[in-house]
């Protein structure tokens, strides 16, 4: 993405050099090659350029092995708030530790979440006799389910030698590692437990693999030992998630154990009820009659929805915490239950919800046959505030990075701007980013400011011509493509998910290749797949294929786009059709439930944004067939 010259004009005056972008890129190359004279010449020529601090930081890091500590300190003092400073600082702290410059290390260490640096700081405190502070820091670092880096080994050894590693701390970290599924670390941590604790730990790990022995474990040992309850809860939760039906029998065995504590028995029943409700079993309500947690009550409400039990649905919502019951989701379903039970407050709540621009607002409007309320209100910010924010160094640097097509670096600057305690109001940042055409940043800043009503900003019609072409090729409505695009990436063209999905429509490379082959298009590599034109085309063709697979059912196609066709097959009703509204509420994955609600609402909003008559939500949600 190349931002228009407007961004640079807003960000401040250009430096004296004729082509600062060319000179900056040349300076980066010179730094990488170690050409000292050229680096110095270019840095001098770019003295007023917003990105020159990056060059100074990179040059200091490139020469870190030979540059003086005083010079590094000077560079960090001048530019320590710039994202690249984190890399220099962390590397420098390692050198300070090797050189024994403990006081300097402690002066420049920052609590930025970098574990290795924190261990070096703890080591510096220990080496300089500040044992209390050192041991407190190590105790915090110890409390993790992840392995610690090698830099932590010396101070961890000193901490243990000082007697700070108690059996309780060893057990707590073993629990964290086990819950995290980091079993290699859990097995390593057993050596720090006393013999009795080691036996308990071995039993836990064995039971996770073979839960059938859980009842026998529950009958042995001290029933009042809270560690045994931890084992039973964890093993049973895993067993229930894997096979809810088999977990019923396991719970019956456990409840026959004479010394099973009543609170633990209640927690296990709740766990089983949740697992059964997630899997769509008809008897889930039986196990959730005494539900207490919001999670269990939510699944009790979902099971009641599936069973058409309005009384239980109302009671489940009424039993939730105030914060949970106040969410739009439960306001809607409580109103539906009250309305079905003939209570007038249900209609009043539905009328209130029908004024909202949201999935549940549109759903309430459908029930009442009311028009949808879009409530577009442009976000306005005073000109003097915009001028002040445009002059902020982070904004000037972000604009330059965007002009260089370096979105990742621009994004880091923007993040620093928004999280600064003395930073500008996010609403001003949203207006500026929107003016640049940087839609992902504008959307996120508006969300940070809780400004929801500027539809131009939150639902831009970017890539319009590409969306038109994709719609024509896939025979999908443009609004449908925009809805998925908006939900999947919020217009972040270089988006990469943890699962490896790429680009605007978040396509897995293997899926993209399959779609391209079926459409007789060139096989896309990763670079091609990140290009907006190719990504939009292949993503739209994939979505259209899912629509055909599910006989034009938008809900099932969207669910398959998010979670995969295999899961959708498992989630479909076994016998009779189910209302899409109820089916969505009972999808096991929270992420997919949110995804479906968002995509459906965005489809309606984008149809209005494109000048069309918005479809009714109910028309996009036919019953889900078995």
3-class DSSP assignment, residue 257: coil
Residue 331 CB contacts under 8 Å (≥ 6 apart), including other chains: 325, 349, 353, 360
Contact by Cβ (8 Å): 232, 217: yes
3-class DSSP assignment, residue 151: helix
For 394, what's the count of Cα atoms within 13 Å in the CB-facing half-sphere? 23
CA distances, 88 to each of 62, 74, 94, 95, 582 (Å): 9, 12, 10, 11, 53
Contact by Cβ (8 Å): 478, 544: no
Structure tokens at 228: 């045994």
3-class DSSP assignment, residue 418: helix
Q: Which residues pair with 496 in a beta bridge?
A: 502
* Separation between Cα atoms, residue 203 and residue 156, nearest integer Å: 27
CA-nearest of 510, 491, 485, 488 to 500 is 510
Contact by Cβ (8 Å): 235, 210: no
Residues taking part in catalysis: 488
Report phi then psi at 81, rounded to 5.
Answer: -85, 0
Residue 178 CB contacts under 8 Å (≥ 6 apart), including other chains: 145, 186, 204, 205, 208, 234
**CA 595, chain centre distance (Å):** 13
């Amino acid at each position: 993405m190349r931002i228009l010259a407007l961004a640079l004009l807003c960000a401040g005056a250009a430096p004296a050099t004729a082509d600062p972008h060319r000179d900056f890129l040349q300076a980066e190359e010179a730094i990488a090659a170690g050409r000292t004279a050229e680096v110095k010449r270019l840095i001098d020529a770019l003295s007023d350029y917003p990105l020159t601090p990056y060059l100074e930081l990179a040059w200091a890091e490139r020469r870190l092995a030979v540059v003086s500590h005083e010079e590094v300190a000077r560079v960090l003092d001048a530019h320590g708030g710039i994202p690249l400073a984190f890399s220099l600082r962390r590397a420098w702290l390692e050198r300070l530790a090797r050189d024994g410059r403990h006081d300097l290390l402690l002066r420049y260490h920052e609590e930025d979440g970098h574990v290795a640096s924190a261990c070096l700081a703890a080591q510096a405190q220990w080496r300089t006799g500040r044992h209390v502070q050192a041991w407190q820091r190590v105790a915090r670092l110890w409390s993790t389910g992840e392995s610690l880096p090698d830099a932590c080994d010396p101070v961890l050894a000193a901490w243990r030698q000082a007697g700070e590693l108690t059996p309780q701390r060893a057990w707590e970290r073993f629990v964290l590692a086990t819950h995290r599924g980091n079993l290699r670390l859990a097995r390593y941590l057993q050596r720090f437990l006393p013999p009795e604790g080691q036996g308990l730990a071995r039993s836990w790990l064995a039971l996770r693999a073979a839960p059938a022995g859980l009842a026998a474990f529950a009958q042995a040992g001290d029933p009042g030992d809270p560690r045994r309850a931890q084992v039973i809860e964890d093993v049973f939760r895993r067993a229930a998630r894997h096979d809810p039906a088999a977990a019923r029998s396991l719970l019956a065995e456990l409840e026959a154990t004479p010394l099973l504590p009543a609170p633990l028995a209640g927690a296990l029943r709740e766990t089983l009820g949740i697992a059964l409700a997630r899997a769509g079993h008809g008897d889930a309500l039986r196990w959730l009659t005494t539900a207490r947690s919001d999670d269990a009550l939510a699944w009790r409400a979902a099971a009641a929805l599936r069973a058409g039990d309005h009384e239980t649905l109302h009671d489940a919502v009424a039993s939730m915490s105030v914060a949970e019951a106040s969410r739009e989701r439960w306001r809607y379903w409580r109103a539906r239950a009250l309305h079905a039970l003939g209570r007038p407050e249900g209609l009043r709540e539905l009328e209130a919800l029908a004024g909202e621009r949201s999935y549940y607002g549109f759903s309430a409007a459908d029930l009442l046959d009311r028009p949808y309320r879009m409530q577009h209100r442009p976000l306005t910010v005073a000109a003097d505030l915009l001028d002040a924010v445009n002059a902020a160094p982070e904004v000037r640097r972000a604009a330059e990075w965007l002009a260089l097509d370096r979105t990742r670096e621009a994004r880091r600057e923007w993040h620093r701007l928004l999280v600064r305690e003395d930073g500008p109001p996010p609403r001003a940042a949203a207006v500026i980013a929107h003016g640049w055409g940087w839609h992902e940043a504008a959307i996120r800043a508006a969300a940070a400011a809780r400004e929801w009503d500027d539809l131009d900003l939150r639902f831009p019609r970017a890539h319009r011509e590409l969306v038109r072409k994709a719609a024509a090729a896939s025979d999908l409505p443009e609004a449908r493509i925009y809805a998925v695009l908006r939900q999947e990436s919020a217009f972040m063209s270089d988006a990469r998910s943890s699962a490896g999905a790429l680009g605007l429509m978040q396509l897995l490379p293997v899926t993209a290749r399959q779609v391209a082959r079926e459409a007789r298009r060139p096989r896309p590599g990763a670079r091609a797949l990140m290009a907006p034109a190719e990504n939009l085309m292949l993503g739209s063709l994939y979505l259209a294929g899912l629509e055909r697979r599910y006989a034009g059912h938008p809900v099932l196609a969207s669910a398959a786009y998010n979670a995969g066709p295999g899961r959708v097959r498992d989630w479909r009703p076994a016998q009779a059709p189910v209302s899409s509204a109820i089916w969505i509420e009972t999808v096991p994955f929270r992420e997919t439930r949110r995804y479906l609600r968002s995509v459906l609402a965005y489809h309606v909003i984008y149809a209005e944004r494109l000048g069309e008559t918005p479809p009714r939500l109910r028309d996009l949600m036919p019953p889900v067939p078995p």
